[in-house]
Structure 1
Amino acid sequence: MANILITGCSSGIGLETAKLLKEKGYKVYATARKKEDVLMLQELDFIAYKLDVTNHIEIAELLEKIIKLDKTLDAVFNNAGYGQPGAVEDLSTETLKEQFETNFFGLHEVTIQAMRIFREQGYGKIIQHSSVLGIISLKFRGAYNASKYAIEGISDTLRQEVINDNIYISTINTGPVTSKFRENALKKFNEHINIKDSYFRTIYEKELKTRLESKEDTTPFNLPASSVAKVVLKIMKSKKPKPRYYVTIATYILGFAKRVLSTNLLDKLLNKI
């Protein structure tokens, strides 16, 4: 029975992926940052552990437990992450660092620690959860855009460095998917952005906050979180998974636009979103 470590399983994509893989017979190590979420996962009969991806000691200890239990590790799904809204000029360097600590540096730390295991056993799969915003950029999402572009760069490089090995790096570019992403983004927006003194105060109050606070998701081409879970399942079942997987029609459309449009035309298109 193949096993997989999944980060960020408290809700949404991580939780749905853990459920689907467990249902299909995979041994899932489901993790979450908060103790209450770990208890929730345990109540759902998961093998669940607390894992803060910004803590390299927690990562090392968990991987050691997995190897002691199973002797091997077949795959890692680097899913943990969040979005920090706000115009670039309103992002403090500390806020940007915080975004990168989870979305990029945490992902990287899990990756390199897993790679040591994969090198020793001679195989493994690393699934990196990027975004359509790792391909194109949207306004007021600068921190998140940058963190996902960083994932693209490090994953593209790593993929070349394992090209002759039995280790596969797959990047998932997810478009609009139903999850608690907006709810968590709103918390970070209120926590880190000085709305009152911003040049964009009116836009923040009339548009951005309204969208983040809305209980209805009217985003075009939106899909349920299970759509990503199905892609992870496909990767797990594949002997030679593809290097990249698009999820949602929006990703295909915007990915195509990035390839064929001039930068000026693309900027005008994206600015309307």
Structure 2
Amino acid sequence: MSKKVILITGASSGMGKESAKTLIEQGHTVYTVARRIEQMQDLSTLGGFPIQMDITKENDIQNVVDTIIKKEGKIDVLWNNAGYGLFGSVEDTPIEEARQQFEVNVFGLATLTQKVVPYMRKANAGTIINTSSMGGKMYTPMGAWYHATKHAVEGFSDCLRLELKEFNINVVVLEPGIIVTEFGDVLLENINKFSSKGAYASLTKKLVIATKKMYDSGQGSKTLVISKTIAKIVKARKPKTRYRVGLLAKPMVWMRINLGDRLFDKIVMSQV
């Protein structure tokens, strides 16, 4: 198997970190970036190359790309994995918070992609993996801004795939289901912050209880399912355009596509 130069964003925890460990073990040259560099020191010990980067700062992004190109001369795989979930009612969530959600989940991803593509194009090779979610194909109450960003990543990736086809660059969308990571903690923190009082207090309470119950009972797939999938994509000469993996990802998206809006609404609300 040929060894590749890989750049992973959002690698300080969860899916990004576990997959980085797997790829390092397989002998790839793995650069990991996140705001919390102190949480990537173990990756450095294993043989990875952590760099501090804020996905919303263009200077940080430029510095990372320049550093890798100077040292390695190429980037074979870019995994745009950084992101978080902003949850709360549309009415209660401040627009500046919504804007920040787009800055991280969409515009940060797009900026890094713009800076990496020219090198892949010159090499006439490369793979870009964009982390969406089963939430990029469906929806839940109180998740308007999060789902909006993931729907955007889906559309962005499809257009990018067509544009880069002639340059032999693969564009892959990763659509995880429920994975056991810090995601649930951030989700609960945001809901409680914005919508725990007022008109949506009752719905918020139900959603918090349902989410806590799911995470506390250990439901959700282990990050191993993601690291195995990423390793498979990295190895593939012609990877699939989408990988839907993890708890509920396939059935929920199937229901969304096949059952129609009103029935799907009922199914979603029956879980809250």
Correspondence for 2:217: 218
TM-score, scaled relative to structure 1: 0.92
Q: Report deviation, 1:88.
A: 1.8
- Assess if the C-alpha contact under 8 Å between 1:3 and 1:27 holds in 2: yes
- With 33-42 and 89-98 compared, the bigger mean Cα shift is at 33-42
User: Percent identity over the alignment?
Assistant: 33
How many residues align? The count is 269
Q: Which runs of 4+ in 1 moved over 6 A?
A: none
Correspondence for 1:65: 67
Q: Deviations over 1:201-231 (max 9, x none)?
A: 1332x333445566944375x2101111111
- With 6-15 and 40-49 compared, the bigger mean Cα shift is at 40-49
Distance in 2 (alpha carbons) for counterparts of 1:263 and 1:216: 27
Correspondence for 2:170: 168
Correspondence for 1:87: 89
* Cα separation, partners in 2 of 1:213 and 1:248, compared to 1, 3 Å: closer
Choose the corresponding residue for 2:226, options 220, 225, 228. 228
Which amino acid counterpart does residue 109 of structure 2 have in structure 1? L
Which amino acid counterpart does residue 206 of structure 2 have in structure 1? E
TM-score, scaled relative to structure 2: 0.92
CA RMSD, Structure 1 to Structure 2 (Å): 1.9
Distance in 2 (alpha carbons) for counterparts of 1:71 and 1:47: 15
* Cα separation, partners in 2 of 1:219 and 1:146, compared to 1, 3 Å: farther
Correspondence for 1:207: 206
- Assess if the C-alpha contact under 8 Å between 2:32 and 2:51 holds in 1: yes
Within the alignment, does 1:121 sit opposite 2:120 as a pair? no
- Assess if the C-alpha contact under 8 Å between 1:183 and 1:212 holds in 2: no
Q: Within 5 Å, which residues of 2 pair with 1:118-157?
A: 118-157=120-159
Distance in 1 (alpha carbons) for counterparts of 2:140 and 2:213: 19
Correspondence for 1:103: 105
In structure 2, stretches of 5+ residues that fail to align are none
- With 1-10 and 254-263 compared, the bigger mean Cα shift is at 254-263
Which amino acid counterpart does residue 272 of structure 1 have in structure 2? S
Distance in 1 (alpha carbons) for counterparts of 2:48 and 2:189: 28
- Assess if the C-alpha contact under 8 Å between 1:176 and 1:219 holds in 2: no
Which amino acid counterpart does residue 234 of structure 1 have in structure 2? K
Distance in 1 (alpha carbons) for counterparts of 2:89 and 2:236: 40
